[in-house]
Chains A and B, each alone.
Chain A
């Protein structure tokens, strides 16, 4: 085995794991109780902190509905539309039609994953054989 390759794999693995674990570390730090707030809080400070907590939870809940779509858009659009570092024009790209067909079947089958994916894959194979 090539030692340089092994070392590279391990270091890249550590870098990737750091990216995965960083939000956990940051969220844990934010959960630590503050040592400076030992005195009994006044009514006004309690109510204002409750309001800010509620506001934060609504915001984060809303954000959680949008962020996955952001991540999925990165995983879907560039691989479908960019070929060899340039935009593959939709009219000449059968993968676009196959993806649209898969989306339609997915919606028609009331969000069943397998029929949608199979329909898209079959459509792509047929169009590539046909053309």
Chain B
């Protein structure tokens, strides 16, 4: 076996291992999505299609909620697209990794970029112990994609809507996983202040700006404040 094959196998294994802790809430959320979609009137094939072709957890929940409430085609499309704008920031943050891949791979793996895959890649990159390369990104993305699709179908087939509060528990699990990963990225007080400030802004924007625009406004403010913070440090370094 060549060194290249060995390295590729190691990267694939690392990709699967690193995504594993995030797979638990994905599985639970997927099952919840399947159960909710079934209750909203979608059949198993439609649920599977939404997982395979739409593949955005929050967007899929929004889609089902709006569809069951009887909203128009264009309203659903617009709101799902607005909610998807946060992916601009996800891809933008990982450009340095994606730009090392060939064109085909780049546009393939970005299809599988979700909050969970983003969390896995960013936390692994921050620890600097494991190389985040093409096989790593491919393995973690494909594992997450497969698990999400399977769990949504399982949720549609099992009588999960009888379990009280399962949706709340799944959402809470996701939140604390993201919290722990974010805490790993807070390496100094400045970043801690930034995290809490933008967190407060996000709550404020979600309360005062309706349907999906809250995330967009938070990202706009977040990028602006980040540019200010980054600029300040550079100025200090020059001095």
Contact = CB atoms under 8 A, between A and B. Distances in A.
Interface in B16-45: 21, 24, 42-43, 45
Contacts of A11: 77
B180 A68 contact: no
A124 B206 contact: no
A77 B203 contact: yes
A82 B208 CA distance: 12
A79 B186 CA distance: 20
Contacts, number: 237
A117 B98 contact: no
Given A5-B67, A17-B111, A70 B53 contact: no
A6 interface: yes
A27 B59 contact: no
Interface in B90-131: 90-93, 95-96, 98-99, 103, 106-107, 110-111, 113, 115, 118-119, 122
Interface size class of B (residues with CB under 8 A): 35 or more
Contacts of A16: 54-56, 59, 80-81, 84, 87
What secondary structure prevails in chain B residues at the interface with A?
helix
B49 A102 contact: no
A39 interface: no
Contacts of A116: 176, 180
A12 interface: yes
B43 A62 contact: no
Contact of B186 (A58, A64, A69): A69
B157 interface: no
B67 A8 contact: yes
A15 interface: yes
Contacts of B92: 23, 67
B181 A113 contact: yes
Nearest to A77: B199
B65 interface: no
A72 B172 contact: no
Contact of A78 (B21, B176, B181, B214): B214
Closest 8 CB pairs between A and B?
A70-B222, A62-B230, A66-B226, A72-B182, A77-B199, A15-B81, A19-B84, A73-B199
19 contacts: A1-B43, A1-B46, A6-B46, A6-B49, A9-B49, A15-B77, A16-B56, A31-B99, A59-B230, A59-B234, A63-B227, A67-B89, A68-B93, A69-B222, A74-B219, A79-B172, A103-B180, A111-B183, A121-B169
Given A2-B46, A19-B81, 8 more contacts: A9-B49, A9-B50, A12-B54, A15-B80, A24-B91, A79-B175, A87-B203, A120-B176
Interface of A: 1-2, 4-13, 15-24, 27-28, 31, 55, 58-59, 62-82, 85-87, 95, 98-99, 102-103, 106-107, 111, 113-114, 116-117, 120-121, 124
